[in-house]
């Protein structure tokens, strides 16, 4: 797939100067979007319309309305939230407003995916925008871990942009290893992930109580707490593998996005979000494509030498969180 290189300058000095000023690819955002295929533009348009509809329309008639922001407002009036106790109108208004950001969150998530698929530098700009809105939305639902994780991701985007732009991380390492190595590596990843998940599980209540000076149990449930810890523990490992440019990241993202999908199915109370289900369903398919292009293809076709294809699927270089 063709990679956007229209921002490159003819000399090394000019190239460095322009890239340095083009922090996170912000000045390429519009041009990169225009450069995408017509099919993607139609997909983005149709997807955005569907997302915006479900951003305001509920599938169920609850609290006497199908208008989703009003549902969330009335729910927040009847329950404790991160912003205040039941009956607090200002807290209920904050929940309704931030929950309504799910549409913008999903659309910017699709934009981030699109820029990743085309190998565009502006992916980091869209990732920052997406993580900002997602963190605010997650706060309205009660996923405190997601809020903390997206702060980490926002702070990490400049590093990702630097590695992508100056250190050659626009191409995934496709090193081939023995089955024994892969087995031990997978076992090590699972052990480390388990430890990181438990760290998140213990840290989330403490972080909430330190920031908001309230009891975490008043706004949480066992399902919400575990889903928050599991998804963000996996997200931490996936992000670390992404930064070291490892193709193993796609296996981690595969399971992380299953968990993220489950987080918004309503398993935890008051967490159903059609817009987020759409977003993570699309991300799930990109995970599978990444696993195939960087691992399964070589397992199924051993005659292919991965080491001779350093730029294979440059479009699958990162995950949009």
pTM attached to this predicted model: 0.76
Nearest partner of 235 among 252, 258, 218, judged by Cα: 252
Residues in the chain, total: 321
Return the closest-CA partner of residue 155 out of 127, 133, 136. 127
| CA-to-CA separations, 143 to 137, 146, 177, 198, 235, in angstroms, rounded | 9, 5, 38, 16, 14
Per-residue pLDDT of the chain (321 residues; tens, 9 = 90+): 333 444 444 444 444 454 555 788 888 888 888 888 888 888 888 888 888 888 888 888 888 888 988 988 998 888 888 787 888 898 889 989 998 888 888 888 888 877 776 777 888 899 899 999 999 998 888 888 899 999 998 998 888 888 877 776 555 555 565 667 667 887 888 899 999 999 999 999 988 888 877 788 777 788 889 999 999 999 999 888 877 767 777 788 888 888 989 988 888 877 888 888 888 888 777 767 666 666 666 655 555 554 444 444 434 444 434
Domain boundaries, the chain: 21-62+101-316
Q: Locate 299 and state its tokens.
A: 């397992």
């Amino acid at each position: 797939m063709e990679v956007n290189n229209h921002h490159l300058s003819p000399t090394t000095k000019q190239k460095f100067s322009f890239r340095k000023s083009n922090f996170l690819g912000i000045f390429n955002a519009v041009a990169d979007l225009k450069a995408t295929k017509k099919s993607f533009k139609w997909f983005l348009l149709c997807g955005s319309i569907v997302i915006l509809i479900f951003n305001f329309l509920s599938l169920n008639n609850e609290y006497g309305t199908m208008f989703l922001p009003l549902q969330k407002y009335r729910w927040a009036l009847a329950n404790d939230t991160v912003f205040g106790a039941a009956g607090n109108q200002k807290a209920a208004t904050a929940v309704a407003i931030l929950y309504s950001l799910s549409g913008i969150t999903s659309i910017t998530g699709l934009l981030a995916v699109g820029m990743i698929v085309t190998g565009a530098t502006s992916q980091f700009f869209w990732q920052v925008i997406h993580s900002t809105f997602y963190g605010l939305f997650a706060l309205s639902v009660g996923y405190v871990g997601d809020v903390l994780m997206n702060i980490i991701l926002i702070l990490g985007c400049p590093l990702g942009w630097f590695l992508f732009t100056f250190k050659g991380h626009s191409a995934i390492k496709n090193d081939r290893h023995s089955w024994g190595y892969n087995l031990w590596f997978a076992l090590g990843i699972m052990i480390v992930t388990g430890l990181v998940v438990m760290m998140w599980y213990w840290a989330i209540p403490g972080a909430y109580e330190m920031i908001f000076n309230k009891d975490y149990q008043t706004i949480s449930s066992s399902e919400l707490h575990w889903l928050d810890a599991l998804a963000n523990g996996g997200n931490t490992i996936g992000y670390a593998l992404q930064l070291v440019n490892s193709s193993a990241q796609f296996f981690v993202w595969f399971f992380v996005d299953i968990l993220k999908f489950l987080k918004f199915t309503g398993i935890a109370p008051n967490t159903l979000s059609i817009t987020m289900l759409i977003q993570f369903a699309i991300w799930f398919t990109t995970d599978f494509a990444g696993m195939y292009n960087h691992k399964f293809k070589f397992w199924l076709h051993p005659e292919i030498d991965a080491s001779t294809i350093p730029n294979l699927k440059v479009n699958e270089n990162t995950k949009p969180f």
